[in-house]
Amino acid sequence: MNIDIISFLINLTCILLLPSLKFSIAVDTLDLSQSFTNGMTLVSQGEKFVLGFFSPMNSNKSYLGIWYKNIPVQTVVWVANGVKPINDSSSGILTLNDTGNLVLKQRDEVVWYTTSQQGSLNPVAQLLDSGNLVIRGEKETNPEVYLWQSFDYPSDTILPGMKLGWNLRTHTERRMTSWKSPDDPSPGDLYWGSLLYNYPEQYLMQGTKKYVRVGPWNGLHFSGVPDQKPNNVYAYNFVSNKDEIYYTYSMLNDSVISRMELNQTDSIYYRYVWSEDQQIWNVMKSLPKDRCDYYRKCGVYGICTITGSLLCECLSGFSPRSPAAWNSSDWSQGCVRNKPLNCTNKLNDGFVKVKGLKIPDCSHTWVDQTIGLNECRLKCLNNCSCTAYTNSNITGEGSGCVMWFGDLIDIREFENDGQDLYIRMDASELGKEGHDGLKKNLISILASIIIASGMLFFGYRLYILRHRITEDSENIELEGGRGSEDEDDLDLPLLTYSTLVTATDNFSIKNKIGEGGFGPVYKGRLASRQEIAVKRLSSDSGQGINELKNEVKLIAKLQHRNLVKLLGCCIEEEHRMLVYEYMPNNSLNWLIFGMNISNILIPW
């Protein structure tokens, strides 16, 4: 066989096989120089996901999407052009332009494009092992500065690491939306989204109507999904801050493949886990799982109980609005109070504690994360429009406060889980538990008043004491503070020993002006420049503290304008002294050393 024949056969083989071959360009990335057409694929580095063109079963239209690489049943997890398909299977072309955006065209018509506003000198599009298609700078590795990512635009599937919720900085929502049908990836009317109430909730919506209320995050799980507990398959997390509010989950074992999907045909949310042994997707969870999951099944103030003899019952203290409709299993009109709240004396109202619930619709709520249950009760009681309250976070012993205003809607009872709700009732409708709660409430109010009054009184006394101390410390020495209670009746200022030491130059011999049997007398000068005479009791005089106090009181009472003035005294530890006004020209000597009144009254 000559060379020409061999070459012809090789070329013929390539021509025949070419349409069925799929090509991978640059493995997982697309750059400015490349075009991506039907038959080509990007494969993530770990060969977990594939980006390419696909056509759903029974459809001749083409879509750009992402699917699992190693799962034999093609399972598409993201679609780019679901709204506008390519009308055949060969004319689609994907390029990356120099502004850092992907553009998908059918011939010359744009059918889909990304909207990054940041731009980059050398942008590349890359498919990651998480299933996330990203646009980034060629050398950029920080996910926070990606130019664009498919995870921000979910289709009908949520993968580990994707976020369900809101970017509050851009006010854009990340929601998953069902396909219209297995043959049509265009958006259906079933979606999982978040409503930004004061106490944000997540819902399954049908168009603009609430279909299944998943409820708010209560610190452990969504209120409507109490079986969302820690497990060995996946971990979940809820984040709420000034920038974002979202739910996400992650796999605890990389070998386990799991996804969340909304199915328009069944109107059900599924969580799937891939079974390698059976080669099928097993359903791990679904929602709605029973009739009580459907929104507002039992109307206002009705409670749905899947294990009860009747699906719907009225809360205690309420009766069916239409008994005839209720008895025929039409619960849509709900229930009304047996005794309306009139708020003429709101402190007579109380609360009935109902356990194990999915808490009511949070459309009209008020939340304070900084206070506890007791303060929450008081705030609710003092607002006539408040109809119920509970903790906003049930972790541990519970924290935070959420209060409801208006009718309570979409309540269900769980057999073993759920959380407590405190429902406002007129005092006449309270059972023993309610009266006990009312009693506790009144006790709490009274205790709060007593504690507050005590604190105010203590604060006032502390202020007065500090004011007196400050006022006393600012006086001159002769107007010094009192001593102990035993000294309060001396009716004279008490001077400190240190003051008199300073005034007499440490009782210097040069300041000594005389001495008697009772002890020496010193001349001194106070800081106010007033001259004084200090009579110091000697340690061997036999004078006791009581005798000295008696003398001081008696001398003070006998003071006369023609006698020298007794200014004060010092009674500090072993130091006992009398302080006189200093009289020059020996007039003081006559009083103290001639006819000394103290020697006459009490022998020193």
Question: Is 459 exposed, middle or buried, given 0-12, 13-18 or 19+ CB atoms closer than 10 A?
Answer: exposed
Is residue 535 within a helix (H) or strand (E), and if so which, with residue range? Answer: strand 531-536
Can you tell me the mean pLDDT for 204-225? 95
pLDDT at residue 480 is higher than 50: no
Longest dimension (CA), the chain: 159
Q: What is the pTM of this model?
A: 0.68
Of 392, 418, 424, 419, the closest CA to residue 405 belongs to 424
What is the per-residue pLDDT for 54? 95
Tell me the average pLDDT across 362-388.
Answer: 95
First-to-final CA distance of the chain: 150
Q: Domain ranges in the chain?
A: 22-151, 154-289, 302-429, 497-594
- DSSP 8-state symbol, 138: T
Determine which of 90-99, 128-137, 555-564 has the lowest per-residue pLDDT on average.
Answer: 555-564
What integer pLDDT is reported at residue 161 of this predicted model?
Answer: 96
Third-level CATH fold of 22-151: Agglutinin, subunit A (2.90.10)
Whole-angstrom CA distances from 111 to 57, 59, 70, 76, 97 are: 21, 18, 29, 19, 15
The whole-angstrom distance between residue 558's C-alpha and the CA centroid of its chain comes to 74
The share of the chain scoring above pLDDT 90, in percent, equals 57
Q: pLDDT > 70: what percent of the chain?
A: 78
Sequence-distant contacts of 403-406: CB under 8 A, at least 24 apart: 403/365, 403/366, 403/367, 403/376, 403/379, 404/360, 404/362, 404/364, 404/365, 405/364, 405/365, 405/366, 406/364
Q: Which of 22-31, 172-181, 446-455, 509-518 has the lowest mean pLDDT?
A: 446-455
| pLDDT, greater one: 520 or 540 | 520
Does the structure show a pLDDT above 80 at 523? yes
- Domain 22-151 and domain 497-594, same fold? Reply is no
| Domain 497-594 fold | Phosphorylase Kinase; domain 1 (3.30.200)
pLDDT at 453: 67
Look up residue 118 and give its two tokens. Answer: 């940041």
Cα gap 337→300, rounded to integer Å: 10
**Residue 521 near residue 513 (C-beta atoms within 8 A):** yes
Q: How far is CA 454 from CA 374, 440, 445, 447, 467, in A?
A: 20, 20, 14, 10, 20
Average pLDDT over residues 115-136: 92
Q: Is the pLDDT of residue 436 over 50?
A: no
Cα–Cα distance for residue pair 430/341, rounded to 1 Å: 12
- The set of residues, in sequence order, having a beta carbon less than 8 Å from that of 434 and lying 6+ positions away, is 350, 351, 352, 425
What pLDDT is attached to residue 585?
62
Say which range, 120-124, 368-372, 455-459, 593-597, has the weakest mean pLDDT. 593-597
**List of E strands, 369-414:** 386-390, 401-405, 411-413
Lowest-confidence segment of 71-80, 380-389, 416-425, 492-501 by average pLDDT: 492-501
Low-confidence winner among 478-482, 549-553, 574-578, 584-588 (lowest mean pLDDT): 478-482
